[in-house]
Amino acid sequence: MAIITLSTDIGQQDYLVGAIKGQLLMQDATFNIVDITHYLTNTNFPQAAYITANAFKHFPVNTFHIVILNYFDTSVNHLLVAMHNEQYIICPDNGILTMIAGVKPSNIAKIALRGHHTLLSRTAVVAQVIHYITQHGKFAVDTENPIVINEKYPLKAMVGTNWIEGQILFIDQFENVVVNITQQEFEEKRAGRKFNILFTRDDVINSISNNYSDAADGDKLAFFNSAGYLEIAINKGNMAGIFGLQGYHEQMNKIGSVTKNKWFYQSVKVFFVD
């Protein structure tokens, strides 16, 4: 019984998610279909990659992960199917594959979409491909002529002699803020030193907590979340809203932006003190 996950930007207000699940079950009624999210932002690839990559790694080997993100941004006439870390990823050829994987997977094939112009006509083809792979145990890869795909890669934290500057990847429903600084990067650069986490021009956190219980109600805290990324929050408060923090967008190349005379910040900087 194959496991199939769905990660999409199409929401759940209409029939589309249900129809896609029906297409899959028409191919094999034993498919086990799992929703990751249907609220990806179609222009925010770093955020989509953070959500999907950190969910996918907790699934059994040979799980099929369908990613529907910005399907119609271009007139590309194919999708991609790739094997990465013993998991199948099926997604558009718009750069999201390498954003999720962090590398270009060695096993990639194209799924032809000629004549399929609507979402459901394309997902019907995906359902057929998954059924074929489950029946035959493989998909065809041209190893002599590796295919060229659209490659984009995750945002990396910038590193200096005594500092790391990361970008805000994700803000959750509680307005806690996730930064693209991993615990490994942080500890390697820290080397046992004290530090200051600066997230606006004047606001600082200088300790790492284990979880929210380490902070009093209303206090700021920093910790490393289940995905291993730096997260800053206010215990029983709204970190992003109170301090004007926003998710980082690729077109922004400065620490702050001004909207209607209010400062917003997309970066968090850690200074290490000898």
**pLDDT at position 133 over 80:** yes
**pLDDT at position 263 over 90:** no
Structural domain for 89, as ranges? 3-136
**pLDDT at position 262 over 60:** no
H helix intervals, the chain = 16-27, 45-56, 96-101, 119-136, 183-190, 239-243
Q: What's the mean per-residue pLDDT of the chain?
A: 89
Instruction: Estimate the crossing angle of helix 119-136 against helix 16-27, to 10 degrees.
Output: 30
**pLDDT at position 142 over 60:** yes
| 99 in Cβ contact with 45 (< 8 Å) | yes
Q: What is the C-alpha to C-alpha distance for residues 274 and 272, in angstroms, rounded to an integer?
A: 7
CATH of the domain at 29: 3.40.50.10790
Which of 54, 78, 77 is CA-nearest to residue 65? Answer: 54
The separation between the first and the last C-alpha atoms of the chain, rounded to the nearest angstrom, is 56
In this predicted structure, which of 83-97, 223-237, 238-252 has the lowest mean pLDDT?
238-252
Same domain, 86 and 171: no
Give, in degrees to the nearest 5, the angle at Cα 68 between 62 and 69. Answer: 130
Q: pLDDT of 48-102, one tens digit each?
A: 999 999 999 999 999 999 999 998 877 678 999 999 999 999 999 999 999 999 9
Q: What is the pLDDT of residue 274?
A: 83
Task: Please give the tally of structural domains in the chain.
Answer: 2
| 182 in Cβ contact with 227 (< 8 Å) | no
Region 268-273: what's the mean pLDDT? Answer: 94
Sort strands 87-92 and 220-224 into parallel, antiparallel or unpaired: unpaired
Q: pLDDT of 147-192, one tens digit each?
A: 899 999 988 899 998 999 999 989 998 999 999 999 999 999 999 9
Same domain, 126 and 176: no
CATH of the domain at 192: 2.40.30.90
Helix (H, G, I), strand (E, B) or coil at 264: strand
Q: What is the pLDDT of residue 265?
A: 60
Q: What is the pLDDT of residue 257?
A: 43
Same domain, 114 and 223: no
Contact partners, residue 254, CB within 8 Å, separation at least 6: none
